Amino acid sequence: MSSSTRTRAKAALAHSERLYLSWWGWPLPLLGGALLAAEIHMGYPGVRAWLPYVILLPVVVVLLLGMGRLTVSVTKGSEPELWVGDAHLPLRFAGEVEVIGKAAKRKALGPELDPAAFVAHRGWVPTMVRIHLTDPEDPTPYWLISTRHPERLAELLRGHREAG
């Protein structure tokens, strides 16, 4: 376990959310897994009839759970940080913060997107936050991250910038 991971585990959280897949994203992949299992077992008696269901449906569930592993959190303490998955940004390098709504999301991920930007996008989360970086040694111009609570996260990051 690295020292930064230990720091995150011990630090108090000012904001934390997990970008899990909503319930309405589950039925279609599960149906697809069941249909694939039915296609495989057609006409086979015995073990080969139920084995595809036992294998494929849990694989689909594991894949869907894995899609929702991304967490967005802000730690408090002597060195506050923004964590997105395993990536972290000390808040002293966070500059201007923009909230990107549903209507502007497509443009932010398309023509406005800088190829050097850090992007953590989840298609089922409708809103995003863009955090411009002030670190002169970092080639990344900004972070673009999905969040279900963009105003709360932006206000927290702006508050830290004004306090610091």
Question: According to the model, what pLDDT value does residue 43 have?
Answer: 74
What mean pLDDT is reported for the chain? 88
| Per-residue pLDDT at 66 exceeds 50 | yes
Distance CA 144, CA 95 (A): 13
Q: Which residues contact 59 (CB under 8 A, 6 or more apart)?
A: 33
Question: According to the model, what pLDDT value does residue 48 have?
Answer: 77
Cβ atoms within 10 Å of 112's Cβ, excluding its own? 13
Question: According to the model, what pLDDT value does residue 11 have?
Answer: 66
Looking at per-residue pLDDT, the higher value among 99 and 3 belongs to 99
Residue 10 pLDDT class (50, 70, 90 cuts): low
Token pair, residue 59, equals 């694989």
- The answer to whether 21 touches 64, Cβ cutoff 8 Å, is yes
Question: According to the model, what pLDDT value does residue 34 have?
Answer: 95
Question: According to the model, what pLDDT value does residue 155 have?
Answer: 93
Each residue of 17-64: pLDDT tens digit? 999 998 999 999 999 999 999 988 887 777 778 888 999 999 999 999
Each residue of 116-141: pLDDT tens digit? 999 999 999 999 999 999 999 999 99
Share of the chain above pLDDT 90, in %: 69
